[in-house]
Structure 1
Amino acid sequence: ITSTRPCPSSSRLHDWPGYSLDLFTYPEHYHDDIESVYIPHGVIMNRTERLAHYIMNDFQDDNIMVLCVLKGGYKFCADLVEFIKILGRNSNKYLETRVEFIRLKSYLNDQSTEDLHIIGCQDLSFLRGKVCDFDTGKTMKALLKHVETFEPKMVKVAGLLVKRVPNMAESLTDYVGFEIPNRFVVGYALDYNEYFRDLNHICVISRTGKMKYKI
């Protein structure tokens, strides 16, 4: 089954309205809470696998310390690391990968002294369903500055979503999954007040959903 409006093949989603909900399965309790499926789970997996290829090519045989920013980034991080491991098993390259989960306000971990780091997060403008200063890069800059104090060999940032907003933080992101308009999206671990994390797809929240789960 295909939509009459295929999702853009590019990682840049401009005025893409999303797929009809009739084409997908999703938790019934969100029936009136989402407008459309913006990025299907399969497309997310395909793009994440491509990012894993880029990482494998860039890092060669170095070890990687992956810092996953909670909570919205854990699914993207887990899938990205799994693809890296699969690619390593299917090739003559092997990247020893270690993952640590961090919260931005409490990152004081002295174990970040590996030779190589990747900072992994999911959405560079929303965290836990609320707008944060990833839009301008302020938070990410602070985190990167802290990591640099451990003098790593290399620091790279991977983000699944970068939103096109004024002064957006795209320049801080080395591996971008999708560049999207400034739309309120949920799912794939992105939440709105702790709801919608159980959606496999990235979806556009409806006005009803915003009102229902508003605090």
Structure 2
Amino acid sequence: MDENQSQDYYAKHRGMVISDNWTGYNLDVFTLPNHYAEDLDCVFIPHGVIVDRIERLANDIMKDIGDNHITVLCVLKGGYKFCADLVEQIKNLSRNSERFISMRVDFIRLRSYCNDKSTEDLQIIGGEDLSKLTGKNVLIVEDVIGTGRTMKALLSHLEAYDPKMVKVASLLVKRSSDNKYRPDYTGFEIPNKFVVGYALDYNEHFRDLHHICLISESGKEKYKV
């Protein structure tokens, strides 16, 4: 692997790296729902930065798997916004390119969180439809990878259906000693902190936030189940 290939591999797998000492942006300089005013610490990644990063991810995916039909497997609920924006960017690039990706989108739900903690139990909802993936090129679109256990379990589960190819794109990857898994495409590598917004939730709250934000301790307590 030459230097350019090495840099490209690094960018895809680590994405935009946000350091451990990043404190985010003051809430007062953004427009946010008033009902969350006391529940957030900061805006961690502004919406505009997210959109620009997704455009680059779409470009990387086009270069790698253009001229193929792929099944996009969106992991709900947190991945729906990222998936919709990523698919739209790929479609826009395809319309203006000699290469073309034909896509169909399917959905799956995974449950592995209680409050802000990942659990050992993985529930797969919608698994009866996975037989459609046999012999297909699959792009899994996930919102955030924490320990990597959930994604590894899903990939192991998919092996039984014998897809032709499986790639994983995750908007966020948390940096921690517990995470031994790296997706094929990463939007942002972030510290091991609990973030909400851009469809990422805390017990079904905060999905309506435009930006990715850090939830405050009082917010965790307020919406704890």
TM-score (norm 1): 0.86
- Hey, which of these two has a bigger chunk of strand by percent? 2
Does 1:68 pair with 2:79?
no
Corresponding residue number in structure 2 for 1:51: 57
Name the CA shift for 1:169/1:198 in 2 (closer, same or farther; >3 Å).
farther
Question: Which residue number in structure 2 is paired with residue 108 of structure 1?
Answer: 128
Q: Is the 8 A contact 2:133 2:162 kept in 1?
A: no
Is 1:118 aligned with 2:133?
Answer: no
Which runs of 5 or more structure 1 residues have no equivalent in the other structure?
1-9, 126-134
Q: Which of 136, 156, 179 matches 1:145?
A: 156
Three-state SS of the structure 2 residue aligned to 1:103 is strand
SS in 2 for 1:45: helix
CA distance in 2, matches of 1:64, 1:36: 37
Q: Runs ≥4 in structure 1, deviation > 4 angstroms?
A: none
Q: 1:166 is matched with which residue?
A: 177
Aligned residue pairs, count: 195
Partner of 1:26: 32
For 1:79, the aligned partner's letter is: D
Shift of 1:63: 0.5
Indicate if the aligned counterparts of 1:162 and 1:169 stay in contact, CA closer than 8 A: no
Partner of 1:208: 218
1:157 alignment partner in structure 2: 168
CA deviation profile, 1:127-165 (whole Å, cap 9, x unmatched): xxxxxxxx1x22212211222233222110000110011
Shift of 1:114: 4.8
Query: 1:162, 1:170 within 8 Å by CA — same for their partners in 2?
Result: no
Q: 1:81 aligns with which of 80, 83, 87?
A: 87
Identity of aligned residues (%): 58
SS at match of 2:97: coil
Question: Structure 2 unaligned runs (5+)?
Answer: 1-14, 111-123
Distance across 1 between alignment mates of 2:179 and 2:210? 26
Mapped contact 1:124–1:169 kept (Cα < 8 A): no
Instruction: Classify the secondary structure of the residue corresponding to 2:16.
Output: coil
- Secondary structure (helix, strand or coil) at the match of 2:17 reads coil
Deviation at 1:206, TM superposition (A): 1.1
Q: Residues of 2 paired with 1:139 and 1:213: CA distance? A: 23
CA distance in 2, matches of 1:211, 1:139: 25
Conserved? CA contact 2:73–2:105, under 8 Å: yes
CA distance in 2, matches of 1:169, 1:191: 24
Alignment RMSD (CA, Å)? 1.4
